[in-house]
Structure 1
Amino acid sequence: MLDTLIKNGKIYNGLGGKPYKKNIGIKGDRIETITSDEPPASKLIDAIDLAISPGFIDMHSHTDFSIKDNPKAESKVMQGITTEVVGMCGFSPAPVNENYFADLMYYFTNTIILSKEEKLQWRWKNLYEFYEEIEKKGTSVNLAPLLGYGTLRVAYSGFSNTPNTLLPEEQKKILYQIEKEMEAGIWGISTALEYPPCSYCNVEEIAKACKIVKRFNGIYSTHMRSEHGKKIFTSLEEAIKVAQISGVNLEIAHLKVAFKEGWGKSSEILNRIHQERKRGIEINADQYPYTAWGSSILDFLPKNIVYKGINYWRNYLLKKENRKEIVRFIKNNLEGPEKDMGWEGVVIANTKTKSNEVIIGKNMHELSMIRKIEPEELIIDLLIEKEGYVKLIVFCMEEEDIKTILKDSLVIIGSDGRAVSPYGKFSKIHYHPRYYGTFPRILGKYVREEKVISLPEAIRKMTFMPASKIGLKDRGQITEGAFADIVIFNPHSIIDNATFVHPRRFPSGIREVLVNGKIVVEKGELTSSLPGKFLRRK
C-alpha cells in the first residue's frame, strides 16, 4: 500500500512542458508511481483544480544562519520551498578556527547577532559537523550547502585591517580545507567580492580555489564586486575570467542592475552571459523579484576604516574632527538611492534595539526628522549606538530590468533570504519581504497577473534548473523514483502578501507541501514534521 496518493491535480513536472493530469503515489520518501489509476493509500490528497509541482528549490539562501533557531523554516516552506542552497555570499557557519575566533565573530556581525552563549557554542571545525547536527535535530527543509570563502579566509588568515594577499602557508591550508569539504559532500564555494575579506581576493586566488571545486563538479556562486551602474560590467568580466581559468560551473548571485546610471542595461549583461555560455562556460544567474536589496550601514563608511575593525572605527567616530570628515565623505560619495530617490529609499530592517525604542521599519528621512539631525549625522550615531549592526533595505532597482532578467532562459529563482517566522526570535525584525514572498510573487504577479513568463517556465526556473545547476539527483522534477518533494498550489490565487511595510506575512495559494514524502504544510497550515535532510554531493 502507498503512503500517500495525490489525485486529480494538474502535474507540472518541472521540465517546462505542458501540464498533464495523473495521480501521484508516494511510498516512503520517493514517488513510487505516476498513474491514471487510484491505488490504495494510507493518505489521500485531492488536488482537483490545483497545480502539482516539484518542491521549489531556493538557489540562493542564507537559512544556514537561522536554521538552528528556526528548524521549521516557516517562511520558506509556506512558499513551497523544499530545498535550499545555502552558504552564499562568502558566508557559511564553518570552519571555525580558535586562533581567529574573534575575527570570525566580527565578520559575522554583518549577517547575524549571536549571544555570548551562542558564541561559546559556535565551534564547528567543518561544514559536515554543522549540518550533521542540524539533520539530527530535525528541519523541515533540505539543505544543500556551499562553503563560504569569506568564512574560510577568516579561519586561516583572520579579518585583516587592510587588504592582504594570502601567505603561501595560509593559501595551502585554505585549498586543503576546500578539498576536504568537497570530499565530504559540500556542493561548492561562494564569495562576496563587494565585502571584506573576499574583496581582498584577486582572480588568481579565486581561480585556484575554483580549480579544486571543478575537480569535484561543484559550483562557484559569486556576489560580484559591484552591482552598481556601469561597474557591473567589469565585475561580470572578473567572474567570467575565474570561470575561464578554472573551468568551474559559475553562478552569478542575485543578478541586478542597481542605481539609475545602470538602469536599462540588463539586456547587455544577459547578452554577455549568453556569449560565454555559447563558448562553453557553464554560467547562470539567479534573481529575486524586488526593486530593493538588503545592505548594511557599514557600507557608508570608507572601506579602509571598516577594515580596521569595530574598536578602531568606533573610537575614530567619537572624535569631532573625524566625525565631520565622515559626514563630508558620505555627502560627497552618495550614489544609488540616497542620490536617486532620497533617504526615504533607505529603510532600517534590523538592529540592536532597546525595548522602548521604535526604529525598525523607519526610513532614514523619517528617523532623521524624529531625531532632528541630518541623515549623514544619523548614520554616524547609529554606527556607534548599534556597534555597526544595522541592516538596511535599499530601493535601487528598476521594474523593467527585473522583468528582463526574469524572462531570460539562464536565470534561476533565489530568495537571498533566510528561513524566519512571524513569532519567536525573528518576530520583531523588519526583514525584506523576499524572505516570505519570493516564489509566490513570481507565480502570482509575474506569471498570472503580468504574464511576463509562462507557468511551466516559472516552475522550471524554481525546480529542474536549480537541481541541474548544482547536480542534485532525483530532485527538481516529478518522475517515478524521484524524491517526493512536492508543492500543491492554486495557480488562480497564489500571491505574496509580504510587503516592505508589512514583511512578516505568509503568502496565499499554497495548500500542501511535502518534503521527502512527509507533509510539512497541510491545507495551508504548518505541521510539526521535520523530514528535511542534509544533502551531500555524490
Structure 2
Amino acid sequence: MSYSVLIKGGNVLRGRKFERIDIGIKKDKIADLGDFSGENADLVVDATGKYISPGFIDLTNHSDTHWTLFSQPKQESLLRQGITTILGGNCGASIAPLVRASDIEGIHKWADVTQINTNWRTVEEFFEELSKHPIGVNFATLVGHGTLRRGILGDDARNLTRKEIEEIKFMLKDSLEEGAFGLSTSLAAAHAKFATDAELKELFAIVAEYNGLAKHHLKDEGRNILPAIAEIIGISRESGARTQISHFKILGKSSWNIFPEAINLIETARQEGAKVTLDFFPYTKTGSLLYMLLPPWIIEGGRAKILGSLKDPKMRRETSDYLKSLTLHYDKVIVASTFKDATSVGKTIQELAMSSGLDPEEIIMELLEINELQVSIFNEAISEDNLHKLIAKEYVLVSSDGVGYDLKAKMPFDLPHPRSFGAFPRALQIFTKESDDIKFEDILHKFTQEPAYSLGFKDRGRIEKGFFADLAILDLEKVKSTPDYTASRQEVEGIDWVFVNGKAAVKNGVMSGELGGRIIKRA
C-alpha cells in the first residue's frame, strides 16, 4: 500500500499500554498498524525511543469566545503542547446561536467586539462560516446557557417566563441537531444568576435526551463551594445528563481544607449513579476576570449596573469595604490583560497601588472603570497538594482552560496565562516525571481516549485503523513546560511531532504552517 506518512520505531499508546508498532497514514486517516520497516512514504518519521499518543483533546478551551479562533487561526500555542482538538462554548458562553448580531456583545469581557462582524445566527450558519477559514486544530462546540439567555433578554438579568424558557429550549434543541455537543453553564455569571433549578433541569434533560454533555462552571469555587457542588449534582441527577465540572478548584488558602468534603460529595453522588466528572488545569494561579471580585449584589445587576455602581460614592465605599474583607494578597494578584490600559499589564495590584498612592481597592475599581470591566488577573489561590490529589482520581481529566494563540502575535494588552502554552506538558512534568502520582500511559489516557468518550467521538482519541490521524510524538526525557507567568510565550520542550488529520502541524519541534483542523459535529 502507498502511504503519505509512515511513523516507524515508536512506542504506540494502545488503550492503557504501549506497543512497539509502526503507523501508516493515508491522507487523513490511520490506514494500517504493523511492521513497515521495508516500506516507504512521502514522509517517514523515525520515532525510535519516543512515545506516540493520540492528539490531546482539550475539553475546556476558550479560543472561540476570545476570538482567536478567527484572529489567530494557527492556534500554535495549543498545537505545540500536543493538543489537536478543542471544545469551545464553555462556561456559559458560545458564539452561536445568536438571536441578534448584537448578542456577540456577550463576549465583550474577553474580546474587542467593536472589531467583530458576525454573519450567522444559528450553529449551522456559524459552522458554515468557520469552514471558510483554515484552522490549526479541530473544533467542536457546546451551546452557552448565558448566550441563550442573552438572546431572549438582551442585557436584562432576571428570571425567565414560561414562554421564554420554551424559547431557549427550542434554540438548544436546534443547536444540538445542528452539531453542538451539549450545553455549558456558569451560575457565577450575571446573566445566569437568576436561572432557577427548574430552568436548568429542563435544559439538562434535553442534553440527556441527545446524549450530550453538560459542562458547568461552579457558582462558587471558594468558601461556599460545597452548596455549589450539591446544586449541580442535584440538577445532573434529576435530569440524567452527563455533567462535567469545568476547571475544578478550591480558591483561597482558608478554603483548601474543604477539599476532602468536596471530593466526598462528588464520589458519593457518583456511587449513587450521578454522571459527574471533573477537569482541572495544573497551575496554582487562576486566570480570572477582575470584576468577579466585586460584591455579589453588584455583579447580579449586569454590566451597566456594575459600571454605574463604580461611579456612585456610597457604592464605592461599600465595594472597598467588601474587597478589604476578602483579605486578598495584592502582591500576588497580577494584571494579565486590559482593554485600554496596557501600562498595567504584568504588574501586581500592590505595585500599582504603591506607584499611584491609592489604596489597592481603589486601584481595582479604577482599572475596571477605565477598561470597561475588561480586566483579567492571575491570582495565587490554588493548593498544589490538591492538584496532586486530583490527578489520581479516575473520573478527573486535564484541560487547559486556556486560549489558542499564534506564537508571534503581538498583544500589548494581554499577558496570557501559561496554561494556554503549556498545560498538558506541565501535567506530564509534575505528575509523572517529578512525582509518581500517575503512570505515563494513564495520564495520556486522560488526555485522549477519556475526553473522546465524553464527547462520543467514534473515530478520534485512539490509535486504531480507520481513525483520524491526530497524533503527538513525545520525547519523554525532554518533555518540559517552560512558559510561566512572566514569559508565557515560551515554547514547550519534548513535543516533537503533531499531526492533525494526517497533516504534520509540528515537525521536529517546529511549526510547519500546515493547518489541518476541521469542524467536528455531534453525530
Q: TM-score range by the shorter chain?
A: over 0.9
What is the distance in 1 between the residues matched to 2:336 and 2:35? 49
Question: For 1:421-451, what per-residue CA distance to the aligned partner results, in whole angstroms no more than 9, with x for missing partners?
Answer: 3322546521111010100001122211222
C-alpha displacement of 1:123: 4.3
Aligned to 2:19: 20
Q: Does 1:497 align with 2:496?
A: no
C-alpha displacement of 1:265: 3.5
Aligned to 2:439: 454
Aligned to 1:49: 49
What is the distance in 2 between the residues matched to 1:273 and 1:309? 31
The farther-off stretch of 429-438 and 29-38 is 29-38
Aligned to 2:64: 64
C-alpha displacement of 1:267: 3.5
What is the distance in 1 between the residues matched to 2:371 and 2:453? 42
Aligned to 1:143: 139
- The 1:137/1:242 distance shift into structure 2, 3 A limit, reads same
Equivalent positions of 1:327-342 (< 5 A) are 327-332=320-325, 334=326, 338=328, 342=329
Aligned to 1:124: 120
For the 8 Å contact 1:254–1:416, the answer to whether it is kept is yes
For the 8 Å contact 1:6–1:24, the answer to whether it is kept is yes
Question: For 1:222-266, what per-residue CA distance to the aligned partner results, in whole angstroms no more than 9, with x for missing partners?
Answer: 00111103x111111111111111100110111111112321443
Aligned to 1:350: 337
Q: 2:239 aligns with which of 226, 235, 246?
A: 246
Identity %: 31
Aligned to 2:230: 237
For the 8 Å contact 1:103–1:159, the answer to whether it is kept is no
Q: 1:509 aligns with which of 490, 494, 517?
A: 494
C-alpha displacement of 1:311: 4.5
Question: For 1:160-209, what per-residue CA distance to the aligned partner results, in whole angstroms no more than 9, with x for missing partners?
Answer: 25xx2101221111000111111111100001111121222122111100
For the 8 Å contact 2:191–2:302, the answer to whether it is kept is no
Aligned to 1:402: 387
For the 8 Å contact 2:8–2:36, the answer to whether it is kept is no
What is the distance in 2 between the residues matched to 1:267 and 1:318? 42
Q: Does 1:216 align with 2:216?
A: no
Q: Does 1:185 align with 2:179?
A: yes
Aligned to 2:517: 532
- The 1:413/1:244 distance shift into structure 2, 3 A limit, reads same
User: Secondary structure of 2:397's match?
Assistant: strand
Aligned to 2:373: 388
Equivalent positions of 1:267-416 (< 5 A) are 267-332=260-325, 334=326, 338=328, 342-354=329-341, 357-416=342-401
Aligned to 1:11: 12
Q: CA RMSD in A?
A: 1.7
User: Secondary structure of 2:436's match?
Assistant: coil
For the 8 Å contact 1:85–1:146, the answer to whether it is kept is yes
What is the distance in 1 between the residues matched to 2:279 and 2:317? 40
C-alpha displacement of 1:136: 2.3
User: Secondary structure of 1:68's match?
Assistant: helix
TM-score, normalization by structure 1: 0.93
For the 8 Å contact 2:471–2:498, the answer to whether it is kept is yes
What is the distance in 2 between the residues matched to 1:515 and 1:202? 41
Q: 1:172 aligns with which of 166, 181, 189?
A: 166
TM-score, normalization by structure 2: 0.95
Aligned to 1:199: 193
What is the distance in 1 between the residues matched to 2:314 and 2:233? 43
Aligned to 2:450: 465
C-alpha displacement of 1:87: 0.8
For the 8 Å contact 2:139–2:518, the answer to whether it is kept is yes
Equivalent positions of 1:422-437 (< 5 A) are 422-426=407-411, 429-437=414-422
Aligned to 1:81: 83
User: Secondary structure of 1:295's match?
Assistant: strand
User: Secondary structure of 2:344's match?
Assistant: coil
What is the distance in 1 between the residues matched to 2:356 and 2:35? 67
- The 1:195/1:314 distance shift into structure 2, 3 A limit, reads closer
What is the distance in 2 between the residues matched to 1:47 and 1:283? 38
Task: Note the residue ranges of structure 2 that are not aligned, 5 or more in a row.
Answer: none
Q: 1:438 aligns with which of 405, 409, 423?
A: 423
User: Secondary structure of 1:63's match?
Assistant: coil
Q: Does 1:30 align with 2:29?
A: yes
Q: Does 1:258 align with 2:251?
A: yes
What is the distance in 2 between the residues matched to 1:301 and 1:262? 19
In the comparison of the two structures, how many residue pairs are matched? Answer: 519
What is the distance in 1 between the residues matched to 2:517 and 2:21? 26
